[in-house]
Structure 1
Amino acid sequence: MAGAAAFGAVGCGDDDDESGSTPPTAGTGGATAPATTTQAPRKGGTLRMNQTGDLQLNAGYPFVVAPPNRILPWLVHEPLIRYRKDVRNPELLLVDQFEYSADRTKLTVRLKPGVTFHDGAPLTPEDVFFSIDFSVNPKAYGVTVSGTPSQLAKSITGRKKVDDRTMEFTFDRPRWDMTGYFATLNIHREASLPKMLAGEALNGTGPYMLEKYTPGVGISFVPNRNWHLSAQEGGPYLDRVEARIFTDETAVATAFEAKELDVAFRLPGADARRFRDRVRKAPRIGGLFLGMVVKNPMLADRRVRQAIFWAIDRERIAKEVGEGFYPATAQIWPEYSPAYDPELDKPYYDPAKAKSLLQQAGFSQDRPLEIPYTQRSEASVLIVKENLEAIGIKTAPKLTETAVFINTLRQRQYGDFYVAGMNFSDPAPASALLNNFNIAIPNQAYQESPELKEILAKIGTVDPLGEEAKELYRRFNRLWVEDPWIAVLEPSGALDVVSDRAQGFDEYFIVPLQAPNFGRIWLKA
């Protein structure tokens, strides 16, 4: 059976496989960039790239991927399936069968033959089972930080090893939301976990293997010559990948300008604009947002949160902070999502309406509302501060170190606002909502309205392309505006600046994590 829709069964057989200011074609997974060379790919060379912030290997990786760890699933670890070009049609990666039962209560998965980890060990059903167990209960393995993928993992009520390659999973009810879970479940060996947590080794199945990690300095990788996708992708082409650790993006841009880097990954618009003709853009997923803690008495009235939603000048943020690389939007859904609503791409900026809503709510405050944020968000936060104070809300932005911010956020300890990114790992709506700790209940904003609870309870039980699902998407998008707990500030795109020497950056996966296809990246002589 050929690969079927992502929301249905995926059967046997792999899928067939200036400016940069135009958005990527919806659902293509392609990059927008200057045309690449027609020269044939060559093997050899060292790709020099940035790693902004140090790795956080004790924060749930590889099953929770914090932003500082994003390059690892690009290079080292792989899930069973991935979204290459179309959210309706995942690509089989470590498996050659991924098939649901007709009633969606069971899933049969068969591993591809001959896949090995970097240490030479064969990929087995036990490795998949361990990966699931870790995502359900990371504390059992000495990790105290987890993300909401574990909530979907808990829906697996039974599993059976059929043979050395085949597994059968049973779910708690008919499930349409598990494809996204398996698309984000990076597979790891239990025996390798202690060394990974100590930063001594990473053991995956991907195109590159960890060579050396020096905390605070850099990370190097060498090719996996036994990569199971070499015949399909052509690579790995590079002799080495060197990721130099930086503490801020401006220093990354300076290093690229000095030709110390071949690629500057994930630059903010203010730095990327210096190299506009070298920018490559990945498909957008999610966005930078202002979280509003609804249990705070000053924010409990939905009219106050509506006022905040209407007070934010997103077009200004898109132009001044994003440098026009991505258009302004008020929604998390990318254009290729079934839940995408063109109405939510409108500005939603009306300070007079915002002031009126505050007056209706009788808003008052006895202190400024704190806005914790990390360095990368500062320019947007300053605009938000100005926007909110223009309607009568006093704020106190607080710059916070990234690791502290992430830990505090995951522990649900912020009490006023917070500004964070939402790069949800799966753009399929059901999985996106149920996997995301900013939306799934419990969430960081303590939004637990009956309407949200009902939407989340139903959304994974219906065909994501059917009329019931479409109505749930409409309800969620109404709730987004009428009882907001999140206000999108700017779309979560990905701006990479690529030198002429680096080739193969003409494809980005939708999942994992807007990743460039390192199986096809090579260097000119």
Structure 2
Amino acid sequence: MTKGISMKNPSNDRGRRPRRLRPAHPGALAGLALTLAVVGACAPVESGGEQGGPPSVDPVDGGTLTIGRLGDVLSLDGNHIRANNYLLLNNVYDRLIEYDEDLEPHPSLAESWEVNDDYTQVTFDLREDVTFHDGKPLTAADVVYTIERVRDPEVGATQLSGLSNLITDMETPDDYTLSLTLSQPTPGIFDMFNFMAIVDQETVEGPDAEQTANGTGPYELEDWSPGNSLTLIKNEGFWGEEPLLDRIETTVVGDAQSLATQVESGAINVAEGIVATDASRLEGQGIEVVNDPVDMFYITANTTSDALSDARVRQAINYAIDRERFASEVMEGYVEPTSIFWPTRSPAHDEQAARTYDQDLNRAEQLLAEAGAEDLEIEIVTNASFPELEDMATILQADLAEIGVELTVRSVEAAEWAELATTGTYQDLAANIYGVDGFHPAYAFTISRPLTPDRNFSNVDDPRHQELVNDAILALTETDQDATVSALTDYMLDESFMLPISSAPRFSAVAGAGGITSRVGGGLVLRSAYVTE
């Protein structure tokens, strides 16, 4: 039995940057009994979300942090995992562990753990000083309930249900010990523990569940006016370091321009969800910007389209995308262009593979000729919620015209885009964002619809796709992990039905405040936040 997890991969021999595939097979270090340090267990683990601007002045003890956001939380349920809910999930609730930027787990509600050599058994020791906001002690029974609850598709935690269903037995020898048995080796099981907020059964099944949030985090819910505002107050009984803020007041702001204007004028402390152009302008004025690199821009190709059924045509489009121009002009240099679906902080990110489809119009034209694709006319549908995508498509339209391809650009509202993508009925290409930040590489293919072997947006039904994903999920040794992830990467690059563009960060501007960071997996972390005036 190996305690804790803190391992790195050795260099591989393929000439690529060494992957940091985590969690590695603990058997490789059997006998060393690595002990997980509990030092800092009460401090937040931050993702290192990039921040600009000058250093903040001395913090004020107390005060109110004001936040403007483009959208409200969708529910108060701690297991409803959606981007709009991250502010609530990260600050009202807690998870068992917290990943750092290298995707190494650190203590949170669990102060230590043990994992067997093949990742079929995990035992957690929970903190004994944690209470929910209503004063009820947190115990292992609450974790058991939450693990079972996220399996319910009605809850809204579909990202976790696959991993949860692999847990076949849960034992609680006492109130603060939990032993889990899994049906198969599951190196990625800690992804679930990093994302799954622990909830109280009585609250989420009670008559006031839709109006109540009862977590264990540093802030408690005071008031929620759906679609308008959310107010949090300090949790005086928080198990960790006492928050400095007394209150957090969030307000829904109608549009991105107004959001930027309000933080610029000092009307709010934080503008969550500004666009790259505003981020660059505000940062130039000395306003701090938090860059949360949690999502990715991408194009999905409908492989049942007559125009795109040949992989060489899809590869040609991949070569025609000017990712460098998109990154520098549209995204103001905040992002790195990439041809692969792994985020830059993923253990599987590969810098060489990321440059596979650097723009090459000559190669694109050659591939079209090899495929016999002449006088090609195709359409791309972009999600209007992300205007950057329409800019990207317009650039692609001009570049494809140079090699004889006519691209029509159509922007639709999010609901229509989702309907077209999930039913696979868009004509040729569709562009949106997706997120797999904080997930073990293999499990990204089980949670992200653009990547899944079944029900993907590209209408791909290839047994080889499923076989490669299965191989990666079951890989335990570092060598096997490297090999299976490399095979998946090569397959996706060759088939080119999912065309990544760059990271799609969420920007927040901060004025008159500090100590605000982003979490691995997404969202702002405010437990160390403070106001300065």
Using structure 2 for the length normalisation, give the TM-score: 0.84
Aligned residue among 186, 192, 196 for 2:203: 192
- How far off its partner does 1:483 sit? 0.7
CA distance in structure 1 between the partners assigned to 2:427 and 2:208 by the alignment: 31
Does residue 91 (structure 1) correspond to residue 102 (structure 2)? The answer is no
Aligned residue among 243, 248, 257 for 1:250: 257
Aligned residue among 38, 44, 47 for 1:14: 38
Aligned residue among 302, 322, 327 for 1:293: 302
Instruction: Tell me if structure 1 keeps the 8 A contact 2:120–2:185.
Output: yes
> Residue 4 of structure 1 corresponds to which residue in structure 2?
5
Instruction: Tell me if structure 2 keeps the 8 A contact 1:285–1:427.
Output: no
Instruction: Tell me if structure 2 keeps the 8 A contact 1:57–1:196.
Output: no
1:172-183 equivalence runs, <5 A: 172-183=183-194
Letter aligned with residue 184 of structure 2: R
1:296-335 equivalence runs, <5 A: 296-335=305-344
In percent, how many aligned pairs have the same letter?
25
Instruction: Tell me if structure 2 keeps the 8 A contact 1:30–1:283.
Output: yes
1:413-424 equivalence runs, <5 A: 416-424=428-436
- The 1:96/1:198 distance shift into structure 2, 3 A limit, reads closer
Aligned residue among 259, 262, 272 for 2:269: 262
Instruction: Tell me if structure 1 keeps the 8 A contact 2:269–2:513.
Output: yes
CA distance in structure 2 between the partners assigned to 1:407 and 1:100 by the alignment: 42
Question: Any idea what the Cα deviations from partners look like across 1:263-290, whole Å, max 9, x if unmatched?
Answer: 1223221121221232434463441111
CA distance in structure 2 between the partners assigned to 1:295 and 1:130 by the alignment: 43
Aligned residue among 54, 59, 65 for 1:47: 65
1:31-42 equivalence runs, <5 A: 31-37=50-56, 39=58, 41-42=59-60
Instruction: Tell me if structure 1 keeps the 8 A contact 2:52–2:290.
Output: yes
CA distance in structure 1 between the partners assigned to 2:296 and 2:207 by the alignment: 30
Aligned residue among 383, 401, 426 for 1:373: 383
Does residue 225 (structure 1) correspond to residue 236 (structure 2)? The answer is yes
Question: Any idea what the Cα deviations from partners look like across 1:90-118, whole Å, max 9, x if unmatched?
Answer: 11111122221123211112221121122
Does residue 110 (structure 1) correspond to residue 153 (structure 2)? The answer is no
Letter aligned with residue 352 of structure 2: E
- The 1:483/1:32 distance shift into structure 2, 3 A limit, reads same
Instruction: Tell me if structure 2 keeps the 8 A contact 1:370–1:395.
Output: yes
- The 1:54/1:381 distance shift into structure 2, 3 A limit, reads farther
Using structure 1 for the length normalisation, give the TM-score: 0.85
> Residue 348 of structure 1 corresponds to which residue in structure 2?
358
Aligned residue among 365, 370, 373 for 1:360: 370
Question: Any idea what the Cα deviations from partners look like across 1:334-379, whole Å, max 9, x if unmatched?
Answer: 4443322112343621223223323333447998535141322443
Instruction: Tell me if structure 1 keeps the 8 A contact 2:97–2:107.
Output: yes
Aligned residue among 148, 151, 163 for 1:152: 163
> Residue 161 of structure 1 corresponds to which residue in structure 2?
172
Does residue 72 (structure 1) correspond to residue 88 (structure 2)? The answer is yes
Question: Any idea what the Cα deviations from partners look like across 1:103-147, whole Å, max 9, x if unmatched?
Answer: 3211112221121122222222232223222322233xxx5x553
- The 1:292/1:37 distance shift into structure 2, 3 A limit, reads same
Instruction: Tell me if structure 1 keeps the 8 A contact 2:63–2:246.
Output: yes
Structure 1's unaligned 5+ residue stretches are 18-26
- The 1:42/1:52 distance shift into structure 2, 3 A limit, reads same
- How far off its partner does 1:240 sit? 1.0
Instruction: Tell me if structure 2 keeps the 8 A contact 1:51–1:68.
Output: no
> Residue 489 of structure 2 corresponds to which residue in structure 1?
477
SS of equivalent to 2:222: strand
SS of equivalent to 1:202: coil
CA distance in structure 1 between the partners assigned to 2:290 and 2:402 by the alignment: 34
- The 1:447/1:122 distance shift into structure 2, 3 A limit, reads farther
